[in-house]
Structure 1
Amino acid sequence: MSESKGSGLPGLTSALKNKLIQQTLERKLRQAGQTHERAPLVGQKKGAVPEAFTRFDQYPGYRQLRIMNDGAARLGVRSPFFKLHEGTAGADTSIGGRSYVNFASYNYLGMSGDPVVTQAAKDAIDRYGTSVSASRLVSGERPIHRELESALAELYGVDDAITFVSGHAANVTTIGYLFGPRDLVVHDELIHNSVLQGIQLAGAKRLSFAHNDADALDALLLEQRHQFERVLIVVEGIYSMDGDFPDLPRLVDIKRRHQAFLMVDEAHSLGVMGKTGRGIREHFGMSGDAVDIWMGTLSKTLAGCGGYIAGETALIEHLKFLAPGFLYSVGMPPPVAAASLAALKRMLELPERVETLQARGKYFLERAKAAGIDTGTSAGIAVVPAILGSSLRATRWSGLLFEEGFNVQPILYPAVPEQSARLRFFIACTHGEREIDEVIASMQRMPR
């Protein structure tokens, strides 16, 4: 074998050297994770606290981060994260003074940057200022809040809705407040971190079932339901890492038979599923009251920031008066609420944007599969992964595509299992078939 210049490892090819470094990196990551166990304190002298417990740089998570960053640097791989976008990020964006085709934005229907949506935010600033400067319960309530929540409730065909300043916090505080130690929360194994954090806060029993496996859920509840007071089932409308969705009618049947609550997180399905973008319930032709708790975010299709819960009056009134994440948080900034309300109205006025988005997603999926790219279980609606295997390979491909004018982010361990690292493509209605063809062609040229 030829020597790799400057490698410090004579006799090794560049490919073999990289493989060895990758294996070493993975081993160090596992070792760093194993050191998270608490050190024994029995017999320790009073006041003799181990130094590792007094330093931020000794936290296991930070040590893993340093190993990953240092390993990538040794391989000449630049970090793909925290890129500075210099304007509105839609199907294209500007980074470092250069224009890129952008596949790393949730701006599915092009509402962020839409003139009507932008003007609504400006008008709200002129009328209400940039902040309501208080919790909504005490003195932060504004008409724009109620207008947005009424529009969301109407969208779902339910009694009412409540908006939170954070989508993540909406899940954490809703689950954390409504459920407790005598309850069970059952979730899809690929559920979002915010749901897991909410369950931890609740102190409820947590069980997962195989991804999109309704039979496994049914069997689990048959075995476990009788041991708990309240039971909550949590799934997503579209899974943001995989781009697939659950069989909602089957889940509704299961939750009714087992007398459980059903919660659907529509962060990525609102605006992209259904003929008019009303989400997974429209896709399956179901009524809003078939699901007990509708959750979603304002930061994707609705061009704002924050989250919402929609459902029956008792649910929403309960959360408005007692859920800590709402009660003790400042009200949503008026321009954000106004932008999301305008985007919601625009979505319903312009169903052709939803139709175009769905057509572009289908086209991307078909072209990617034809090119031999592993797209997993994606339905090709708005999220399509290119599953590559190792985190190193995903990061390399992201960097090479960036050099060719495409911005697409890698999803790495621990966000996904190490051998499931991927590039994640978000498709918008503003992407064209030509741009899709070009990025697929670029991926076909990538080193295998």
Structure 2
Amino acid sequence: MTTGFGLSASARSALLSRLARRGSPPAPEAEPASPGRDLGTLPGMRDFETMREAGAALGMESPFFRQHDGVAGAHSSIGGRRYINFASYNYAGLNGDPRVAAAAKAAIDRYGISASASRLASGERPVHAELEVALAAHHGTEACLAFVSGHATNVTVIGQLLGPRDLLLHDRLIHNSVAEGARLSGARRIAFAHNDPDAAERELAAQRRRHGRVLLVIEGHYSMDGDLPDLARFAAIARRHDALLMVDEAHSIGVLGATGRGIAEQCGVDPGLVDIWMGTLSKTLSSCGGYIAGRRRLTDWLRHTAPGFVYSVGLAPPLAASALESLRLLQAEPWRVARLQSNAALFLRLARQAGFDTGSSAGLGIVPIILGSSLQSARLAAASFEGGVNVQPILFPVVPEGSARLRFFLSAEHSPADIEESIATLVAARDSLAILKAS
């Protein structure tokens, strides 16, 4: 049995016992007179507060919501101290580039800051169309449609594409936004074993006739493990079973392929075999928002029907301009992709040599160090931070029990010296905490 926040009943009991032995049991808030106004009954509230009290009782400062003093790239200043930073998605090192900033400032001068209303209601700005044309060309598709949020892109598009008679079949490690989109749609949702085309095909063979439309969703580059799918096989499976194939490229653009065009370029697969490409603007493209690229008939329909587009404010012009300039620079400066991939490969090699478990990472932009224990992961992240390395721990229930980890996002801005120093810091922290090496 698992509670709403993710703690099992036995884990919660054990944690409370430990806190009691330390003399710092969580102090419950006084209950309001009306049960309907009791915030303690919100989903997961009890466990959230227990976990927060546990961190305080163990003397561990929260690693989340740290305030960065300026641009958070390969290096960042936090509280006036300089850190080697692995907690940013600034893969190509374009966030903070003066040319990107200049494009955003020029858009503010011309269009103002906000689009003010939905693009359907208040009209377009030329930079919106320019960005969408450029993204469609980058993916090799007919058209593209940009939204104000990457998470909302998946939620509203999947919610609009599917209905109660339909099926969403997705990788077990798919992003939360896909699951939320399925919930909105009312479609049946089935997860298959991570990166297992055979498991996906078995589910399709068993379920296809029971549903109207089927949407098969995978990611181009999985953000928790840094591994890749066999795109050609998934594309063939989708065609064989009359399903639409959607690929979430949030962590792929600027990371995979010789020129950063994503998983299709990485795998040498015709991008036309994918029905729906989804991507974000907030990572390599140093902006904010999301997009869908595919056939023009699809994007035109979404432009007029998707609630997250029709009823939401349009992408802010300076954000569209910064994403467009970042895309232009990515294409004009392919050395950024080569340097990122070289840095990630070096980090992966040194981490493995040091005895860390890096799982199935391909070493192209994301490398996890898997410890299993949430407590050990949090302690190693804290010790690394003390040593000048900023990396986020990923703990249960964000990842399955027994697979807690530190997650490293590499950048084209990192130097080999940064990576060598960081691995040495991690090794020293591991040894001081007596954390066992991977077997």
TM-score, normalised to structure 1, is 0.89
What residue number does 2:255 align with? 272
Q: From 431, 440, 444, give the equivalent of 2:414.
A: 431
| SS at structure 1 position matched to 2:183 | helix
**Distance apart, 1:413 and its partner CA:** 1.3
**Distance apart, 1:64 and its partner CA:** 1.1
Q: 1:144 corresponds to which letter in structure 2?
A: V
CA distance in 2, matches of 1:74, 1:129: 48
* Alignment of 1:210 onto 2:200: no
**Distance apart, 1:22 and its partner CA:** 9.0
* Alignment of 1:398 onto 2:372: no
Describe the shift of the 1:217–1:28 C-alpha distance in structure 2 as closer, same or farther (beyond 3 A). farther
Q: 1:224 corresponds to which letter in structure 2?
A: Q
What residue number does 1:62 align with? 45
Maintained 8 Å contact 2:131/2:321: yes
Q: 1:341 corresponds to which letter in structure 2?
A: L
| SS at structure 2 position matched to 1:419 | coil
Maintained 8 Å contact 1:174/1:198: yes
What residue number does 1:25 align with? 15
Q: From 109, 116, 120, give the equivalent of 1:133.
A: 116
What residue number does 1:291 align with? 274
Percent of residue pairs identical: 56
* Alignment of 1:96 onto 2:79: yes
| SS at structure 2 position matched to 1:148 | helix
Q: 2:69 corresponds to which letter in structure 1?
A: E
* Alignment of 1:339 onto 2:322: yes
What residue number does 1:369 align with? 352
Q: Summarize the alignment of residues 320-339 of structure 1 with structure 2, pairs less than 5 Å apart.
A: 320-339=303-322
**Distance apart, 1:28 and its partner CA:** 9.9
Q: 1:25 corresponds to which letter in structure 2?
A: L
Describe the shift of the 1:173–1:100 C-alpha distance in structure 2 as closer, same or farther (beyond 3 A). same
Q: From 206, 215, 237, give the equivalent of 1:223.
A: 206
CA distance in 1, matches of 2:12, 2:306: 45
What residue number does 1:304 align with? 287
Q: From 224, 245, 248, give the equivalent of 2:228.
A: 245
Describe the shift of the 1:53–1:22 C-alpha distance in structure 2 as closer, same or farther (beyond 3 A). closer
Q: Summarize the alignment of residues 180-199 of structure 1 with structure 2, pairs less than 5 Å apart.
A: 180-199=163-182
CA distance in 2, matches of 1:78, 1:22: 20
**Distance apart, 1:132 and its partner CA:** 1.4
Describe the shift of the 1:80–1:212 C-alpha distance in structure 2 as closer, same or farther (beyond 3 A). same
The aligned length equals: 410
Describe the shift of the 1:26–1:275 C-alpha distance in structure 2 as closer, same or farther (beyond 3 A). farther
Maintained 8 Å contact 1:390/1:421: yes
Describe the shift of the 1:205–1:358 C-alpha distance in structure 2 as closer, same or farther (beyond 3 A). same
What residue number does 1:257 align with? 240
What residue number does 1:179 align with? 162
What residue number does 1:162 align with? 145
**Distance apart, 1:58 and its partner CA:** 2.8
Maintained 8 Å contact 2:286/2:322: yes
* Alignment of 1:417 onto 2:400: yes
CA distance in 2, matches of 1:427, 1:231: 35
**Distance apart, 1:60 and its partner CA:** 3.6
Q: 1:187 corresponds to which letter in structure 2?
A: H
CA deviation map 1:253-296 (0-9, x unaligned): 10010010000000001110001000001111222211000000
CA distance in 1, matches of 2:318, 2:217: 31
Q: 1:273 corresponds to which letter in structure 2?
A: L
**Distance apart, 1:121 and its partner CA:** 0.4
CA distance in 2, matches of 1:425, 1:340: 23
Q: 2:374 corresponds to which letter in structure 1?
A: S
**Distance apart, 1:421 and its partner CA:** 0.9
CA distance in 1, matches of 2:163, 2:377: 40
CA distance in 2, matches of 1:60, 1:305: 29
Maintained 8 Å contact 1:165/1:306: yes
Q: 2:111 corresponds to which letter in structure 1?
A: Y
**Distance apart, 1:54 and its partner CA:** 2.3
Q: 2:46 corresponds to which letter in structure 1?
A: R
Q: 1:383 corresponds to which letter in structure 2?
A: I
Maintained 8 Å contact 1:72/1:392: no
What residue number does 2:331 align with? 348
**Distance apart, 1:301 and its partner CA:** 0.3
Maintained 8 Å contact 2:141/2:271: yes
Maintained 8 Å contact 1:140/1:330: no
**Distance apart, 1:191 and its partner CA:** 0.3
What residue number does 1:389 align with? 372
**Distance apart, 1:414 and its partner CA:** 1.1
CA distance in 1, matches of 2:231, 2:258: 17
Describe the shift of the 1:26–1:303 C-alpha distance in structure 2 as closer, same or farther (beyond 3 A). farther
**Distance apart, 1:186 and its partner CA:** 0.2
CA distance in 1, matches of 2:263, 2:352: 24
CA distance in 2, matches of 1:235, 1:201: 19
**Distance apart, 1:23 and its partner CA:** 7.5
CA deviation map 1:181-221 (0-9, x unaligned): 11111000000000000000000011110000001111111
CA distance in 2, matches of 1:336, 1:105: 18
CA deviation map 1:69-122 (0-9, x unaligned): 111111111111110001011000011011110000000001111111111001
| SS at structure 2 position matched to 1:316 | helix
What residue number does 1:4 align with? none
Q: 1:406 corresponds to which letter in structure 2?
A: V
| SS at structure 2 position matched to 1:273 | coil
